[in-house]
Amino acid sequence: MNKILFIIIVFSICSCKNNSENKTSAIKQGKKVDIENAQGFSITKFDGYSILEVNTPWPEAQDPFIYLLKEKKAEIPENIEYDQILEVPVEKIVVTSTTHLPALEALNEENTLVGFPGLNYISSERIRKLIENASVSELGQNENINTEVLIDLSPDVVIGFAINASNKSFETIQKTGIPVIYNGDWTELTPLGKAEWIKFFGALYGKEQEATKIFQNIKSEYLKAKELARSARTRPNVISGSMYNDTWYMPYGNSWQAQFIEDANANYLYADTEGDGSLSLAFESVIEKAEDAEYWISSGQFTSYEQLFNASEHYKRFKAVKEKKVYSVSLSQGATGGITFYELGPQRPDLILKDLISIFHPELLKDHEQVFYKPLN
């Protein structure tokens, strides 16, 4: 009996070892897609399928999400663990953030979009035409997506975004059998990190090479613009944000917005701050530190100096206001009022950087037509 038990134990150990080795071997056979700047996801390609791993679906997420992207008729090994499985290329998709839309357009896949929560937020002219033709359905709000309409649309996948682990709307959708895949592009802290999430969408459409080429072009333009900015002879002081209920909210120094100012060779007066969300300061401390700043960018929802002064006469004390050097992204809007910056900006950091260089150092980009940042009326 002891001999038999010994044989069984040895066999079990060998079997476990072989399974482990097979799983390791299978992983080794995969080819990692080169992710250069983004921190929140990875893609590993295998014969007939890919593993898409999203590490940061939201800030401080405890565990990554593993998504298996399966090509038609592909055989999948039994020892693979995953949260959701999806057949690719995707033919019908629902996305839940306007930041997802530019990637669909860049990959020429906007026609696969069948639904979106909050159609009026969409600025893209190409997608607005699809909306006018009733090709894209209204799904309500992210917090309360109309699941009846969604089920009727029968999308292959819903691309979700969330600020924490409590996502009842997406949990309900998954119970209907429709896969939900989280996209965490907004958690990236660098401009190029956000833009590289186009590779996430490239994997869904079997267009990894196209996505890589698009990103490389964007990155190349960004780095060339950054290098050009270094040649500027001046480095102006800059402030950002605006007041709400007597509190001034502005980006932290470790934010992606602050990175643009640094790369445009300007001095963000709050570059030494760190944190998540927005820096909140009393007006008195801002006026003391930033009254003489040469430029003020991203001035909230204001589109004119009249609006600025109606909100607070105190704004008149700033040098940037006196010299009419206040710039806002709120002047670039789509047909239904959506702010273009919040939709296209994360995908095109090269255009944002060129805008800022043309503002801070106009002699360097004389012919640049500003896309997002416009002077207040």
Give CA–CA dist 38/196, Å, rounded: 6
pTM of the model: 0.90
Whether residue 7 is contained in a domain is answered as no
Q: Look at residue 18 and tell me whether its pLDDT is greater than 70.
A: no
User: Under DSSP, is residue 326 helix (H, G, I), strand (E, B) or coil?
Assistant: strand
| Residue 352: inside a domain | yes
- The mean of the pLDDT values for the chain is 91
CB 228 within 8 A of CB 238: no
Q: Which of 2-16, 53-67, 235-249 has the lowest mean pLDDT?
A: 2-16
Looking at residue 28, its pLDDT comes to 52
End-to-end CA distance of the chain: 91
Say how far residue 119 (Cα) sits from the centre of its chain: 18
- On whether both 184 and 76 belong to a single domain, the answer is yes
The residue ranking higher by pLDDT, 19 or 369, is 369
pLDDT of residue 89: 97
Is the same domain home to 214 and 269? no
**Same domain membership, residue 251 and residue 151:** no
- Percent with pLDDT over 70 in the chain: 93
Q: How far apart are CA 314 and CA 308, in angstroms?
A: 9
Check whether residue 213 and residue 236 sit in a common domain: no
- Band of residue 325 on the pLDDT scale cut at 50, 70, 90: very high
Residue 118 lies in a domain: yes
Task: Tell me, yes or no, whether 193 and 276 share the same domain.
Answer: no
pLDDT one-digit tens code per residue, 125-134: 999 999 999 9
Predicted pLDDT of residue 15: 43
Q: Identify the domain containing residue 156 by its residue range.
A: 26-219
Is pLDDT at 61 greater than 60 in this prediction? yes
CATH number of the domain bearing residue 237: 3.40.50.1980
Q: What is the mean pLDDT of residues 344-349?
A: 97
Average pLDDT over residues 250-255: 94
Q: How confident is the model at residue 245 (pLDDT cuts 50, 70, 90)?
A: confident
pLDDT digits (tens, 9 = 90+) for 127-184: 999 999 999 999 998 778 999 999 999 999 999 998 888 888 899 999 999 999 999 9
Residue 316 has pLDDT above 50, yes or no: yes
- Give the count of domains, the chain: 2
Sign for the pseudo-dihedral over CA of 231, 232, 235, 241 = negative
